[in-house]
Chain A
Amino acid sequence: MRASTKEFSLMQPSAEEHDHPTVATYLAIAVILTVITVVEVGIFYVPAFAAIMAPALIILSATKFTLVVMFYMHLKSDHRLFTMVFTLPLMIASAVIVALLFLFGVFVLG
């Protein structure tokens, strides 16, 4: 059943999306992703970074993850519902990983 014109127009603001990023933005993101990957590999090979390797690599990886999701998957400009549908399972998955690592003694408290 089709909605009335009034009902449909009320529905549209929630369906509104902003423009997707431009080609220049896509290229800039690709350059940033490449630079981060080079830095990651550099951190792996340079012994001076051994002490901070794991946290540094996790932060860099999370940055790459976020850039791809925000700009290439358009979550930055798309409706918030898509962000929620993606973020909730992602948080559950992250919690499962951390919980299992604690449960199996990979992380030790205290």
Chain B
Amino acid sequence: MMTTAAAHYTSTGLDNRKIAFWTFIGSECLLFGSLIATYLVYEGRSVSGPTTHEILNIPLTSVSTFDLLMSSLCMVLALAAVQRGDRLQSRLWLGMTALLGAVFLGFQAYEFTQFVHEGLGFTTNLFGSTFFTLTGFHGAHVFVGVTWLLTLLVRSFQGKLGPEKALNVEIAGLYWHFVDVVWIVIFTVVYLIQTTPLPAGG
């Protein structure tokens, strides 16, 4: 398959929009790298609870992780459908991706609400501050992704998302999959690998 760069000249022979978006994703790596580093540096250093062991709900988060992984599958199926001009399938899979993204946000809203009810707020301790910042930034990215997907779905219903616009869907897909891989890392380092808290005052 040739890129859409075949339709117009670029100095690299690649579509500039795709290069620009990969560069943006590279910058996002640095953003989330710094947020994850901050979380790890302060993990286990809270002088008061609640902490990771007491509050994280692994079964719930495992389901939301599966939900986000399946949304990535739906996204690639949507792209494949758009590329072959299958409007019905492309609408189905775009809609499914957005729906699974919205379900993930629902899980996150439920989790945040539970934490607040159990006494963990943004300023309660170091864990609360770093946890809400990291997962909140990720959730905001998911929200942007869901909005983007719904926009594409509307364009599809308007008949303006044919195979010639496949690159638009591919770039949205790159964003969505990046959000997915960030969650893969967060699920491991925040939820599954939990350090023993230091003694009070440590």
Q: Which residues of B contact A92 (CB under 8 A)?
A: 29-30, 33
B19–chain A nearest beta-carbon distance, Å: 7
| B37 at interface, CB cutoff 8 A | yes
Q: Which residue of B lies closest to A105 (CB)?
A: B41
Q: Mark B12-33, 1 if CB is under 8 A from A, else 0.
A: 1110001100110111011011
B13 touches A12 (CB 8 A): yes
Which of A16, A68, A93, A104 touches B29 (beta carbons < 8 Å)?
A93
- In chain B, positions 1-56 with a C-beta closer than 8 Å to chain A are 1-3, 5-6, 9-10, 12-14, 18-19, 22-23, 25-27, 29-30, 32-34, 36-38, 40-41
Q: Are A85 and B1 CB-contacts (below 8 A) given A34-B66, A41-B58, A97-B33?
A: no
| B70 at interface, CB cutoff 8 A | yes
A26 touches B2 (CB 8 A): no
In angstroms, Cα B27 to Cα A96, docked, is 13
B14 touches A72 (CB 8 A): no
A68 touches B180 (CB 8 A): yes
Q: Which residue of B lies closest to A53 (CB)?
A: B193
The number of chain A residues touching the other chain, given as a range, is 35 or more
- Do most interface residues of chain B lie in helix, strand or loop, or is the interface mixed? helix
B73 touches A11 (CB 8 A): no
A88 touches B75 (CB 8 A): no
| B90 at interface, CB cutoff 8 A | no
| B130 at interface, CB cutoff 8 A | no
Q: Which residues of B contact A65 (CB under 8 A)?
A: 181, 184-185
Q: Which residues of A contact B37 (CB under 8 A)?
A: 96-97, 100-101
Interface size in chain B (residues, C-beta < 8 A): 55
Which of B23, B41, B66, B76 touches A101 (beta carbons < 8 Å)?
B41
| B69 at interface, CB cutoff 8 A | yes
| B77 at interface, CB cutoff 8 A | yes
| B178 at interface, CB cutoff 8 A | yes
Give 26 A-B contacts (CB < 8 Å), ordered by A residue: A1-B9, A3-B9, A15-B14, A16-B2, A17-B2, A20-B1, A20-B83, A23-B77, A30-B72, A34-B69, A40-B188, A41-B62, A60-B188, A61-B187, A64-B181, A68-B180, A73-B178, A81-B12, A82-B22, A86-B22, A86-B26, A88-B26, A92-B30, A93-B30, A96-B37, A104-B41
Question: Given known contacts A81-B19, A82-B22, what 17 new A-B pairs fall within 8 Å (CB)?
Answer: A3-B9, A15-B6, A16-B2, A20-B1, A30-B73, A33-B69, A60-B188, A61-B188, A65-B184, A73-B173, A74-B170, A82-B14, A82-B19, A85-B19, A92-B30, A97-B40, A106-B40
